[in-house]
Amino acid sequence: METALFYAFGLFGCCVMIQIGVSRFCAVRQHLLWLITVFFSSPILATVAILLLPRFIHSLAGRFQWGDWALACLLHASLSLAYALLFTGIAGHSPSMAILRRVDDSMPRGLRRELLAPEWFTNENLSGIRHRNLIQLGLLVESHAVLRLTSAGQALVCLFVFFRRLLGLNDLATG
């Protein structure tokens, strides 16, 4: 079991280093697609390497156990999915984080409530970046300053509304 944890955390750590390295030196346009590519192709590439380099792997790790590797890949996939979802939240503009940063900048004296409305609360920061991302993903199209859902966008909206109703939550647009 410890071997599976070692493999999973090693694989995940290598993927994070690759993702950070590439992000620092190259302009990544679609972060989610890039994350999925790096994090979900790595177990496949590592498996191919294990198959092609059996003597090297056996000399490093003793007798290689495929069961441990399968568990490691499962844990890696879980960590990768959680990281990808967390990363998209970190990379995007967050009004809550903007408030916290604004108050932090005024510490230790604090910030009066009426001074809270920062310059970050613009249409561009609150919706502009997001609608451009949705267009890039093919979920929206824009024509003559009017946004329309594509069929993929309609399917996604239906899925989310269905799931929110299944959980007993209000529709997102209604609060």
pLDDT, tens digit (0-9, with 9 covering 90-100), for 92-149: 666 667 777 777 888 888 877 777 776 666 777 667 777 787 888 888 898 888 888 8
Q: Please report the DSSP string for 67-106 in residue order.
A: HHHHHHHHHHHHHHHHHHHHHHHHHS--HHHHHHHHHHHT
Rounded to whole angstroms, how far apart are CA atoms 118 and 100? 11
pTM: 0.56
3-state secondary structure of 138: coil
Rounded to whole angstroms, how far apart are CA atoms 51 and 78? 24
